[in-house]
Amino acid sequence: MNNWFTVKVKYTKQLENGTFKRVSEPYLLAAMTFTDAEARIYEELGSVIRGEFDVVGISRTEIHDIFAYEDAYTWYKAKISYEREDGEGEDAKKKKISQNFLVSAHSVKDAYERIRESLESLMIDYQIPSIMVSPIVDIFPPTENLDREISRTPMEKEEAAPAPKGKVFSAPGSDVDDEDIFDDEEEVVEEDEIEEEDDNEDDSVLEDDFSDED
């Protein structure tokens, strides 16, 4: 069963002005375990990043769905909240559910509109309390090969095709309903020997004041 993992890698990057800088960048990928997540990031980035790179952190990340649009490369993280009744009759109680979604967009407003468009078939009343820019550089969605543990089973590398407009990426096993999963990243695995820089540690939070009119 696949889950989403955020894998942070550190390497020397050549900037547009020709200078070199040591950077840490996070990538989101689908994998079965922490070990498979590490193996897959080396598989995916081995031919992309010039020179050596180090995996400095891996964390399980709760993402319900990802809406990829081919005309945008900035990822926005949206929090969706709604209420659900638990129990029956007089014992029924309302429970608040929060879920995380990622969408590629050009701005906060564009991200809001694309989330609304993608969830238009949802038969419940929901709110979008916040939308923020995500530091995620790229996303590697589930593939058929992930049914096997990539750290133990040899696989041929496939070229990743650009995601068509509005394509949805889901990782079975990552759909967790929780009251407070928006800012929670559990089971962080890091290399103690490597001292991380403070660059790129925090998301740039952009709170959204849009009102939902269902």
Nearest residue to 103 via CA among 69, 137, 140: 69
Nearest residue to 72 via CA among 117, 113, 105, 103: 105
DSSP letter string over 128-159? EEEEEE-----EE---GGGGS-TTTS-----P
For the chain, the residue count is: 214
Tokens of 72: 């945008």
Angle at 94 between CA 91 and CA 98, to 5 degrees: 150
Handedness of CA 138, 139, 144, 148 (dihedral sign): positive
Q: Return the domain boundaries, the chain.
A: 3-190
Model confidence, pTM: 0.68
pLDDT, tens digit, for every residue of 91-119? 678 888 999 999 999 999 999 999 999 99
Q: Residues of the chain with pLDDT > 70: what percent?
A: 66
Work out the mean pLDDT of the chain and round it to a whole number: 76
Binned at pLDDT 50, 70 and 90, residue 145 comes out as low
Binned at pLDDT 50, 70 and 90, residue 14 comes out as confident
